């Protein structure tokens, strides 16, 4: 069992929330290392990688990238397509967080000797007796507790959730007050990362690229 330390591995997407999370963790006295996962690149855009790298450089923290596109395709995209075609309602973001993103953060942190893991999710956790639980964020409009409901105790005991106690408006103000105007004014991501607006075109394209057709 790794000894608790003041080091934290933060998942950095390049967006407002994880960027502000990095600032809040630093100001709380943690040694932050940022990791940006390459899960899916909409329209092959890698701007998010540059945004995360540039922010890390400006904050003076170490930053790494991790290419998880193959496993994301296998575990999340295939699941989404197969569930939808079976007439079910897929929940890809919940599956990704519980089965891929957080376990991957923990594994990389273990390899680097880092105890804590964190993201920019708007979620809080509580400890009752000897058990940790996920609970809602302060901001009801941004609450993401549903996506983390399946995390196990070995993960929950190590996670830091610096965004759970503030609102999105406060997060933007936090960045602006510190001179990070681009971070403060970034647009919110909407919907699922691989099909934010229209899942039908995604399904058609995925099936064609995999030599299948809609029945």
Catalytic residue check, 193? yes
Q: How do strand 116-118 and strand 7-11 relate by DSSP bridges? A: parallel
- Please state the separation of Cα 152 from the chain's center in Å: 17
Helices in 16-158 by DSSP H: which ranges?
16-27, 47-59, 69-72, 78-85, 92-95, 102-112, 153-156
Candidate list 95, 96, 148, 159, residue with the active-site label: 96
Contacts of range 144-149, beta carbons closer than 8 Å, 24 or more positions apart? 146/94, 147/93, 147/94, 147/97, 147/98, 147/121, 147/123, 148/97, 148/98, 148/102, 148/121, 148/123, 149/94, 149/98
DSSP 148: G
What tokens appear for 164 in the block? Answer: 């759970």
Q: Is 93 a catalytic residue?
A: no
HSE, CB side, 13 Å, CA atoms: give it for residue 87: 1
Q: Which of 9, 76, 163, 193 is catalytic?
A: 193
- The catalytic residue positions are 96, 193
């Amino acid at each position: 069992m790794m000894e608790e330390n003041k080091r934290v591995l933060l998942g950095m997407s390049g967006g407002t929330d994880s960027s502000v999370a990095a600032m809040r963790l630093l100001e709380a006295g943690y040694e932050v290392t940022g990791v940006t996962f390459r899960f899916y690149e909409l329209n092959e855009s890698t701007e998010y990688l540059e945004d995360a790298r540039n922010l890390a450089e400006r904050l003076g923290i170490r930053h790494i990238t991790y290419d998880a596109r193959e496993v994301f395709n296998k575990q999340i995209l295939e699941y989404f397509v197969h569930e939808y075609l079976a007439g079910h309602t897929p929940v890809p973001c919940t599956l990704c967080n519980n089965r891929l993103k957080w376990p991957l953060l923990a594994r990389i942190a273990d390899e680097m000797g880092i105890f804590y893991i964190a993201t920019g999710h708007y979620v809080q956790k509580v400890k009752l007796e000897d058990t940790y639980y996920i609970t809602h964020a302060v901001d009801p409009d941004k609450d993401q507790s549903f996506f983390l409901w399946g995390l196990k105790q070995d993960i929950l005991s190590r996670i830091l959730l610096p965004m759970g106690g503030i609102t999105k408006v406060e997060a933007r103000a936090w960045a602006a007050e510190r001179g990070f105007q681009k971070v403060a004014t970034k647009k919110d991501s909407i919907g699922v990362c691989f099909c934010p607006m229209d899942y039908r075109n995604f399904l058609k394209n995925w099936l064609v690229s995999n030599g299948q057709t809609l029945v």
